[in-house]
Structures are given as C-alpha cells and as structure tokens.
Amino acid sequence: MSAPYPSIAEQVGSVPDSPGVYLWKNAEGDVLYVGKAKSLKKRMRQYTSGQDEREKIPLMMEQVAAFDYVVTTNEVESLILEKNLIRQFNPPYNVDYRDDKSYPFIALTLDDPYPAIKYTREKHKAGTRYFGPFTDSRAARETIDTVRRIVPICRATCAEWKRVTAKDGAPAGRPCFDFHVGIGPGPCVGAISRDDYALNVAKVARFLTGKHDDLEGELGRQMRAAAADLDFESAARHRNRLEAVQSIRERQTIVSSRPLNMDVVGFYREETVAGVHVFVVREGRVLYGNEFVLDKGLDVPMCELVEGFLLRYYGDVTDIPKELVLPELPQWPEVVSAWLTEARGTKVSLTVPQRGEKHDLLELGQRNAQHTLMRFKVRTRYDEGRLNSALLQLESALSLPAPPLRIECYDISTLHGTHSVASMVVFANGRSDSKSYRRFKVRLDSGEANDVAMMSEVLRRRFAAARMADGRFGSRPGLVIVDGGKPQLNAAAAVLEELGLGDIPIAGLAKREEELFVTWSDDPVVLPSGSPSLYLVKRVRDEAHRFAIEYHRNLRGKAMTASVLDDVTGLGPKRKKALLKAFGSVKRLREMTAEQIAEVPGIPLQVAEEIVAVLAQGGAR
C-alpha cells in the first residue's frame, strides 16, 4: 500500500531557507496569493501553523492545495519578481489596482532622428522616455500643448514628422502646419539642425521632470540677449515662452520654500477598498496629483498595502523622486528603498513625518485620497452593491426567513453599575437610520455591572406591547443583535420568548473574535473575512457602542458637575460661576471667610455665611 500524500505543512518542511517568492495555489492550479520572503521556509511555515494573524489567511489556507516557490539571489530580486508575478496572475488575495486599465504617459521618442512628444498608453519600450503616469488624461494632453508653446518640438502624430523619420531625418520637402504657427521647429524643411533640436528635447525633458527654474532662467537670458542684439522678433518669442512658464508656476501650489523633490502618497481605507492620492512635488511645488483605487486590501496591514502600491506604481514611473513621504513604511523598507535607488540611480529615502510641512502635506494627500474613494463609490454605486450583498449573506449565514431590512443592535455602557445606560441603533436597508435611534437609562440598581440583567431589562422595555404599538419605535426588526456572547444572547432570547416574540431572529456579536452566536447552534457563525456581511455587523455593533458610550459619558459628566454648592440656598448658576472665577476651586473656597466670599460681586453676606456653613459640614448630599 502506497504512503499517503504528504500534507501542505509537511511539504513546506522541504522548502529551502533562502530568499525567494512563493505562490499558494488551489486544487485547480489557480494562483491565490504571491508573497516574498527573506526565508521561504520560515515565512511559509507561518501560514501552515496559523501564526499569520491577518484576517484573510485562514480563509485562503482552506483553499490551498499546492504551492510553488522560486529561490532568488537577494531580497531586491524577490521584490521585483513578486511584483511581476502579481501583475501576471492577478491573485485574488493580493493587494492590487481596482482595474487593469492602462494610464496615459507623456513620451519622448528618443531613438528617432528628431525625437517627438506624444500622449500614449502603450507598454513601455526601449528608446522611448516616459513621464507620468497621469490619471487625468486631459491634464496630460494640456501639458503637451503647454510644453510645445514653451519649447518647439514635433508631435508624433504630425504627418510631415513621420515622413522625416521614414527618411532617417532628411527634410520632407514641405512645411507642416505647426512650423507655420511657430510651435514646430521645422525639421520637415531643414530649419533646425539635429544638435539644436537635441537641445530642445533636453529642455522638454527637464521641464517634464519639474525643473522649471532652469528653463525659466534660460528663457530670461535668451530674451535679454535678443533684445540687446535688437532682434526684437526673437525677444518677443522668448518673452511669450517665458510668460507661459511663469503662468504654469503661478498655478502650481507652493508647499515649501525649499526646493523639495518628493512624492507624497496619501491613503484612505474603507472596508475592502482604499483610495490613494500621489502629490508629485518638484522644486517645492505640486506639479500634479494622481489618484488610484486599490481593491482586495483592507484586511492586510497598512505596511503591506503601502508596499503593494509602491511596487505597482513605481514599476512604471521613470521620474522617481529623491524622497517618498508615506503614512507608514512598507514591509521591507530597506529593500524597497534599494530597489527605488537602483531605478533612480541615486539614493531614494522613505519618510513617515510626524510633524512639520511634510506631515501637513501628507494629511492633505490623505484627505484627497478620501475624496478619490468617495467619487469612485458614487460613480460605481459601490455601497449599494455591497449592502445588497451584505444583507443576502446575513440571510444565508444566519438562516433568516428573509434579508434583514431592519437591524436593531443593543449595547450596555456602565461603570461598576453606576450611570448605566443602553443604546438601540437601527440600520434600515443596510444604512444607519439615526432618527430611529433610542437610548435607555437602566433602572436596575444592582450595585455592580451586570450586563446580562441590564440587557434583559432594556429589551423587556423596548419590546413591551405598548412600545411595539408605538410608531415612534418603528417596525418589527428583521434581526436583533446584542453586543456580547452566549450569556447576553440567551437572556435576550428568553425575554423575546416571554413576550411572545420568539420568532424575531436574534444573534450575539462577540467583540474579540467577531463571531455571531445564534440560538439554534452551539457553535458560533463566522462570517468570511473581508465579506460585506462582516463589515456590516461590525459597523452596526460599533455604532451601538458609540451611541451608548456617548450617553453614559453625558450622564457621568452631569453627575460630576454636581457640587456641595448645590445645597446652598440662593446660589444659582451665575453666582457659582462668579465664585469659581474668583477662587478657582471649591478647595480654595473652603479656606475663605464669609467676609472674603461676600467681596465677590453679586454674593450677599447672608449667602456667603451659608456657603461657609455648608462647606464646613462637607455638604448635605
């Protein structure tokens, strides 16, 4: 009899202790996840032994039936290989862009006799220099038009330029329209040499990388020199180009008096999607901003989300800055920095600012990332689809008779049995219905925190016949959630049975493991990690907790403002305020005589004498 096939955990035991990339696969051979490791064996064992605490991992490992791995010579090589494999396989458990659309670039065709400028979405190829990406295609086209007004350069779409290129740079014989209007340099009629044209190309490249100061200074010198030579036509052309550069700089936001060269990457996460906004800052000015939406990434640590984005974005970018300003460092900061440094040719720093102008700019980037995500959700009706899915998933997972269009959630807030309150929050069709929220002051005087008894009292009051008939409490819920585990659930279910409402579905949501306890099973219901249903019940529970805490703090605050001065006849709020302003505290007031207290404007001597008497007794309360 043949030996049983070794398990995944046993197979991982033979993986080498080397840097590399691993691929988890399902039974059909589809790649579920691609990851990198400094030690393949140690990292993969974390998956099989349950040591990886990310929420998505247990669900993924249930599907894993096989794996592959590739040993690399160093960690930077692992980083690059991981990026390429993620792009190739688009695994469902990796952080990725929301879609696979290509973003536009501005390109210079450097291998042509007279390099041209173009707007393109093509895959990058040798002999062409790319600038971008631009997530706003209109901004990319406007940039090309502006550049050509400042520095004459050919368009790649020009028919005469194509003829010149086909003839290996020889004049085509007739001028193009752009040459007639002064924005084409005229290689089509031999009006410019290759050397002079190459200088123009270099100026365009400097401008597109944000080096506007050099170009502005050069145009100013050329204008003055032409005017000194009485060549006023050339001076006017240089003046117009100089004004175009200055106009662009006026529109760019100045973020620093220093010539900073950096990209600021802001993130905003919500459920399973994240918005990203990249400010491209050169010479202390924001040249432009790029925005993206990441999917499949909420339940991964922020460091992994950041790293996944950096690999995808800077894998395409040719203009890598000296510094990246980030909300958190990537998983492998030294390796990512080395990879970027190799691509740029000089040192690239990764910074997480805690204060100052960089921190302020990062916060601005994060606010813009939030707006990026909001626009995406409105445009795609994202929330509507997620909420519908959440309600259907809850119906299935909790064996409900119908989707829970009205969910009520209850939470208790108390401090050692004092100032005990409860909240009732309502979600209708998956959305918060704040007008239906209710709060209860618990009447039970137990002298200690007894969440179970308090929950029973609150539910008995809410589901009493009079309240059920009261339109202000809304319709009958499709699902009741109580904050807590089995004890709270059992108590709540007993109350509903007692009131003849045992057919109302009810569940208890435990905080620690996010498990739903139900009356019909001893085992909790575990909703899939990252699922719409899980995020909905967590949001409902958190809202109930917030509402209860808010009411509890309000009651505690009122109680704490009560004072022994409340026992003084004739001492109202205005006189109390005057006393506290004069003496600062009740402790200082105790040290004063009646005559000293009576010196406070508005305090009669008779009231001052009673204050002294009440304070001497320690208050009658």
Does residue 587 sit in the same domain as residue 504? no
**pLDDT tens figures, 560-572:** 445 667 777 788 8
**How far is the C-alpha of 268 from the C-alpha of 406, rounded, in Å?**
29
519: how many CB neighbours lie within 10 A of its CB? 17
Does residue 351 sit in the same domain as residue 404? no
Angle (nearest 5°) at CA 308 between 373 and 26: 105
Read off the CATH number of the domain in which 444 is found: 3.30.420.340
DSSP string, 404-422: -SEEEEEEEEEETTEEEEE
Count of structural domains within the chain: 5
Does residue 302 sit in the same domain as residue 323? yes
**pLDDT tens figures, 501-552:** 989 999 998 876 678 899 888 888 888 777 888 888 888 998 998 998 888 7
Q: Are 270 and 197 in contact (CB under 8 A)?
A: no
**pLDDT tens figures, 333-372:** 999 999 999 888 899 999 999 988 888 889 988 988 988 8
Find the distance separating the first CA and the last CA of the chain, reported in whole Å. Answer: 86
Amino acid at 139: A
pLDDT band at 1 (very low <50, low <70, confident <90, very high): very low
Read off the CATH number of the domain in which 587 is found: 1.10.150.20
Full residue range of the structural domain in which residue 143 is found:
105-210
Nearest Cα to Cα of residue 267 among 222, 204, 176, 330: 330
Does any domain span residue 247? no
H-assigned helices in 33-89: 40-48, 56-63, 75-89
Nearest Cα to Cα of residue 571 among 538, 516, 613: 613
Read off the CATH number of the domain in which 276 is found: 3.30.420.10
The tokens describing 418, both together, are 């004092």
Does residue 433 sit in the same domain as residue 517? yes
Amino acid at 3: A
Query: How many distinct helices (H) and strands (E) make up the chain?
Result: 22, 20
What average pLDDT does range 411-418 have in this prediction?
76
The tokens describing 298, both together, are 């909420």
**pLDDT tens figures, 419-460:** 788 889 999 988 889 888 988 888 877 666 677 888 888 898
Angle (nearest 5°) at CA 178 between 176 and 183: 145
Q: Are 374 and 367 in contact (CB under 8 A)?
A: no
Average pLDDT taken over every residue of the chain: 82
Q: What local confidence, expressed as pLDDT, does residue 524 receive?
A: 87
Does residue 403 sit in the same domain as residue 516? yes
540 CB-near residues (< 8 Å, 6+ apart): 407, 409, 425, 427, 481
**pLDDT tens figures, 244-260:** 665 655 554 555 557 77
DSSP 441: E
- More confidently predicted of 244 and 130: 130
**How far is the C-alpha of 247 from the C-alpha of 81, rounded, in Å?**
43
